[in-house]
Amino acid sequence: MDISFIDKKLENIYSKVLNNSRLSREEGIYIYKTHDLIGVGQIAGHVRRSLHGNKAFYIYNQHLNYTNVCKNRCLFCAYARDRKEKGAYTWSIEEIEKKLLERIDEPVNELHIVGGLNDALTFDYFIDLLKTVKKIRPKATIKAFTSVEIDYLSRLADLSIDQTIDRLKQAGLEMMPGGGAEILNSRIHKELFPGKINHKRWLEIIRAVHNAGIKTNATMLYGHIETIEERVDHLITLRELQDETNGFSAFIPLAFHSENTKLSHLPATTAVDDLKNVAAARLMLDNFDHIKAYWVMIGEKLAQVALSFGADDLDGTIIEERITHMAGAKSALGLTKDQMENMITKAGFEPVERDSFYNPKT
């Protein structure tokens, strides 16, 4: 495909992409720095089409955020509460059962389960949680817990990481979401989330999870205090781990929402930055099959555009998202299957409803 670039320097990047050559750190930085957004989008769109043609994936999923009580208190988080604070909640196993049964007539394919680090919960609670979900929704995939929770659970149960993963797997854990990565960098860790595991531990746990045969996603929280160089280094770190394990399924750039956080002075991310993050991910993560445009964070309209900038997946119907809405997201709390399909079709793509492992739902 011939592309006429406004920024002629993108021609080199495009020819490397056409030759299947890996892009360097400098090229990654340039993708963010150029003002030729459409040029970058066209290159990323080319890669996306060569991998997935005209298909755009989505899943019928349900989020369960079992508690917002969390002792970490990351500066970017509007969701966490202290145990006695107004608005704090922790669902009992019975309440989780009720949440699942409320939607039992819907064709939910995946349960996305994450929560805060709440001292009041025991390891048995997590085992019961997984078993209950599996009992009520035997056919749906359980995608649960981030590295942050796995580290916490291993300390709670006094088990090694491998033993913890094994116990959770036996109780029904099948996949892990990509949260908790934020920006894999010690400066940002120190400034924004010192209470949480650092990037070395995040990677160590993900490596163990992949080695146990469990696929995970990966994310990057952008739009706060990070530099472009730090974003690119984050992507390269993920790319290197993927070379080693091949355990990542999708990458999801997460646009920071500052309302009700300790960083509320920071402006919202712009559409240009949101699209560049999707395109940069598609171009730098040459060993990742899927890039998700998470409509909850960038809005339904921009997520639709992101399908032409490298994204091949819109995540899902979601139902009752909490983490981003507490931080001021204006997107819907959930979307219907028809709304998802309409977004995809109107963008010129073919909607494919998938399971957690990207098999088309038959």
Q: Which residues in this chain contact ligand SF4 in the complex, by CB under 6 A?
A: 70, 72-74, 77, 79-80, 116, 148, 193, 196
In the complex, the smallest distance separating the C-beta of residue 273 from ligand V47, rounded to whole angstroms, is: 13
Nearest in space to 163 (alpha carbons), one of 128, 135, 127, 137: 127
Interface with ligand V47 (CB under 6 A), residue from 30, 60, 66, 76: 76
Of 108 and 197, the one with the shorter C-beta distance to ligand SF4 is: 197
> Segment 136-165, which members bind ligand V47 (CB under 6 A)?
146
Nearest in space to 152 (alpha carbons), one of 167, 170, 162, 164: 164
With CB cut-offs between 5 and 8 Å by kind, which of ligand V47, ligand SF4, none does residue 196 bind?
ligand SF4
Interface with ligand V47 (CB under 6 A), residue from 127, 323, 340, 344: 323
Pairing of strands 55-59, 350-353: parallel
In the complex, the smallest distance separating the C-beta of residue 291 from ligand SF4, rounded to whole angstroms, is: 22
With CB cut-offs between 5 and 8 Å by kind, which of ligand SF4, ligand V47, none does residue 151 bind?
none
Interface with ligand V47 (CB under 6 A), residue from 254, 275, 280, 319: 254
CA-to-CA separations, 44 to 33, 49, 250, in angstroms, rounded: 15, 9, 15
Stretch touching ligand V47 by CB under 6 A, among 84-92, 131-139, 251-259, 266-274: 251-259
- The sign one gets for the Cα dihedral 216, 83, 97, 166 is positive
Residues 281 and 291 sit within 8 Å (Cβ to Cβ) = yes
With CB cut-offs between 5 and 8 Å by kind, which of ligand SF4, ligand V47, none does residue 316 bind?
none
In angstroms, rounded to a whole number, what is the distance separating the alpha carbons of residues 227 and 29? 10
Q: Which residue has the tokens 């139902």?
A: 319
Asked if residue 256 binds ligand V47 (CB under 6 A), the reply is: yes
Mapped onto helix, strand or coil, the DSSP state of residue 136 is helix
Of 317 and 324, the one with the shorter C-beta distance to ligand V47 is: 324
Asked if residue 310 binds ligand V47 (CB under 6 A), the reply is: no
Q: Which residue has the tokens 């993708």?
A: 31
> Segment 180-199, which members bind ligand V47 (CB under 6 A)?
180, 182
Residue 53 CB: number of other CB atoms within 10 A?
A: 11
Asked if residue 221 binds ligand V47 (CB under 6 A), the reply is: yes
In the complex, the smallest distance separating the C-beta of residue 327 from ligand V47, rounded to whole angstroms, is: 3
Of 23 and 221, the one with the shorter C-beta distance to ligand V47 is: 221
223-227 long-range CB contacts below 8 Å, 24 or more apart? Answer: 223/255, 223/256, 223/266, 223/268, 223/269, 223/273, 224/76, 224/188, 224/192, 224/256, 224/258, 224/263, 224/266, 225/188, 225/191, 225/192, 225/263, 225/266, 226/183, 226/185, 226/188
Of 55 and 143, the one with the shorter C-beta distance to ligand SF4 is: 143
Strand order in the sheet with 61-64: 61-64, 110-113, 141-144, 175-176, 215-222, 248-255, 290-291
With CB cut-offs between 5 and 8 Å by kind, which of ligand V47, ligand SF4, none does residue 72 bind?
ligand SF4
Asked if residue 178 binds ligand V47 (CB under 6 A), the reply is: yes
With CB cut-offs between 5 and 8 Å by kind, which of ligand V47, ligand SF4, none does residue 67 bind?
none
In the complex, the smallest distance separating the C-beta of residue 302 from ligand SF4, rounded to whole angstroms, is: 23
Residue nearest to ligand V47 (CB): 179
Asked if residue 312 binds ligand V47 (CB under 6 A), the reply is: no
Residue 334 CB: number of other CB atoms within 10 A?
A: 16
In the complex, the smallest distance separating the C-beta of residue 106 from ligand SF4, rounded to whole angstroms, is: 27
193-213 exposure pattern, b = at least 16 Cβ within 10 A, e = fewer: beebbebebbbebbbbbbebe
Residues near ligand V47 (CB under 6 A): 76-78, 146, 177-180, 182, 217, 219, 221, 252, 254, 256-257, 261, 294, 297, 315, 323-324, 327
